[in-house]
């Protein structure tokens, strides 16, 4: 009896997941959890499944740990049980438990969400836009499950929504959803689509749990950067490749995603320039191809790059040859720093640190922030101003102690 009831419910949930675009590999993980549930019910003598049975199973499997103490994999199992409980209790799966792979916001409820994403598509790169879609879907799912529209959304509803996030999401994911939801609600206030269109009200309700202070970027002095570049061993193919990639990060401040994604079509040898669309921002940048950087790229192509017909300039140094991953250069750069005798304790040592270092060193020679912003390809100068905090810290390190002055020094000051 246990098997027949579970089999029927599982089949209905599985059919629903497939309509939501879930892959076979993902559904296998769901079934793995449900198989363990069936074993638990058999051992416990439970004839009928209920949410209480599912909770007892999870408590036993996770040793009674709180949701926030669980690993990502364990939290995934909780979702596997939740969708089964939904199907048992209400005959369907609540949207808040399952994120569709192709995110849309159907119905009248979804129209403001769709328009918001359309507006953001003019400002955000594809990867950022996808995160926006996923995050505001949580609010859409809550409203759909509650049978409400944005015009019905009240502070009490917002509090209930945040309580769901507190339970279902880790601190970082929860706050990221809140940050994007704030942007969405600000837009809705401007359009007058909420029950109360006072922006400050919603900003107070949707507050972050963690202190939203940006960490200072890790930076290296100009001499340290030059020492790292000089330490790269260019007698072998990987060294030739790393040398060219490090120069692109150190001289132009290119992000690692743009370096490993660099294609031959981005190199204009005739006019000596590099032109590409940044993967993060979608902004096109055109940079002069200096003799130093151009020579390094040519040296790698001629004497270091595998003879593979791929559009990418930089490839893996060992078979099977192919497209690079971001982690490869980060690991190698750490080795070159150690070879140069650079102490990176307390500082990150990936290629992004070279980008930060370029910005900070440019600021140190009084380059204007708009110029630095243009070099780095920032969408706005706000992203660049974080480096002013680094310079202030450098100034504080240079500050001298106030000398001791005897109190008698001031006795005749007004005499």
Q: Kindly report the number of other CB atoms within 10 A of residue 126's CB atom.
A: 10
Q: First vs last Cα of the chain: how many Å apart? A: 102
396 is catalytic: no
Q: Which of 10, 77, 356, 378 is catalytic?
A: 378
280 is catalytic: yes
β partners of residue 268 = 273
Q: Which of 148, 352, 389, 397 is catalytic?
A: 352
Whether 179 contacts 208, CB under 8 Å:
yes
Strand order in the sheet with 273-277: 267-268, 273-277, 284-288
Tokens matching residue 228 = 């790292």
Higher-confidence residue of 162 and 46: namely: 162
303 is catalytic: no
Q: Compute the distance between CA of residue 114 and CA of residue 187 in angstroms, rounded to an integer.
A: 12
355 is catalytic: yes
> What phi, psi does 4 have (nearest 5°)?
-65, -40
Tokens matching residue 325 = 């991953």
The pLDDT-based confidence of 313 (bands split at 50, 70, 90) is: very high
For the cut 60, the answer to whether the pLDDT of residue 171 exceeds it is yes
Q: Compute the distance between CA of residue 119 and CA of residue 108 in angstroms, rounded to an integer.
A: 18
β partners of residue 275 = 286
Q: Compute the distance between CA of residue 141 and CA of residue 189 in angstroms, rounded to an integer.
A: 20
Whether 368 contacts 387, CB under 8 Å:
no
Helix (H, G, I), strand (E, B) or coil at 234: coil
Whether 299 contacts 212, CB under 8 Å:
no
pLDDT, tens only, 80-117: 998 888 888 878 777 666 666 678 899 999 999 999 99
Average pLDDT, the chain: 81
Q: Which of 280, 338, 347, 389 is catalytic?
A: 280
Q: Which of 241, 255, 305, 356 is catalytic?
A: 255
Closest to 361 in 3D by CA, of 322, 318, 332, 390? 390
pLDDT, tens only, 260-289: 889 999 999 988 899 988 887 777 888 888
The pLDDT-based confidence of 414 (bands split at 50, 70, 90) is: very low
For the cut 50, the answer to whether the pLDDT of residue 57 exceeds it is yes
pLDDT, tens only, 205-261: 999 876 555 556 678 888 998 999 999 999 999 999 999 999 988 888 888 888 988
51 is catalytic: no
The pLDDT-based confidence of 192 (bands split at 50, 70, 90) is: very high
80 is catalytic: no
Among the ranges given (156-160, 199-203, 385-389), the one the predictor scored with the smallest mean pLDDT: 385-389
β partners of residue 315 = 323
Q: Give mean pLDDT, residues 309-334.
A: 83
pLDDT value of position 373? 59
**Is the model's pTM score more than 0.95?**
no
From residue 128, alpha-carbon distances to 57, 123, 279, 388 in Å are: 37, 9, 10, 25
Closest to 30 in 3D by CA, of 15, 42, 43? 15
């Amino acid at each position: 009896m246990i098997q027949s009831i579970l089999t029927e419910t599982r089949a209905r949930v599985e059919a629903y997941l497939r309509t939501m675009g879930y892959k076979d590999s993902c559904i296998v993980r769901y079934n793995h959890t449900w198989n363990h549930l069936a074993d638990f019910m058999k051992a416990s003598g439970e004839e009928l499944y209920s949410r209480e049975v599912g909770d007892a199973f999870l408590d036993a499997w996770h040793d009674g740990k709180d949701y926030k103490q669980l690993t990502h994999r364990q939290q995934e199992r909780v979702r596997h049980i939740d969708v089964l409980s939904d199907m048992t209790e209400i005959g369907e799966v609540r949207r808040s438990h399952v994120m569709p792979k192709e995110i849309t916001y159907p119905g009248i409820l979804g129209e403001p969400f769709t328009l918001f994403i359309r507006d953001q598509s003019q400002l955000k790169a594809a990867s950022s836009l996808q995160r926006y879609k996923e995050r505001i879907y949580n609010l859409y799912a809550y409203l759909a499950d509650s049978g409400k529209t944005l015009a019905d959304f009240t502070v009490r509803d917002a509090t209930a929504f945040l309580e769901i996030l507190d339970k279902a999401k880790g601190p970082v994911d929860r706050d990221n959803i809140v940050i994007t939801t704030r942007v969405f609600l600000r837009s809705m206030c401007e359009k007058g689509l909420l029950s109360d269109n006072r922006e400050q009200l919603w900003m107070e309700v949707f507050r972050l749990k963690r202190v939203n202070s940006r960490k200072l970027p890790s930076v290296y002095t100009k001499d340290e950067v030059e020492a790292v570049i000089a330490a790269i061993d260019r007698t072998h193919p990987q060294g030739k490749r790393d040398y060219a990639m490090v120069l692109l990060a150190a001289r132009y401040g290119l992000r690692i995603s743009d370096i490993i994604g660099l294609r031959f079509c981005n190199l204009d040898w005739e006019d000596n320039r590099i032109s590409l669309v940044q993967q993060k921002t979608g902004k096109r940048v055109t940079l002069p191809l200096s003799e130093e950087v151009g020579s390094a790229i040519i040296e790698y192509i001629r004497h270091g790059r595998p003879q593979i017909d791929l559009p990418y300039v930089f490839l893996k140094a060992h078979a099977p040859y192919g497209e690079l991953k971001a982690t490869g250069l980060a690991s190698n750069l750490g080795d070159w720093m150690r070879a140069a005798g650079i102490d990176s304790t307390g500082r990150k040592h990936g290629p992004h640190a070279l980008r930060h270092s370029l910005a900070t060193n440019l600021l140190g020679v009084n380059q204007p922030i708009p110029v630095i912003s243009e070099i780095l390809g920032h969408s706005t100068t706000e992203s660049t101003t974080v480096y002013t905090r680094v310079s202030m810290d450098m100034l504080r390190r240079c500050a001298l102690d106030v000398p001791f002055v005897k109190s008698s020094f001031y006795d005749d000051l007004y005499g």
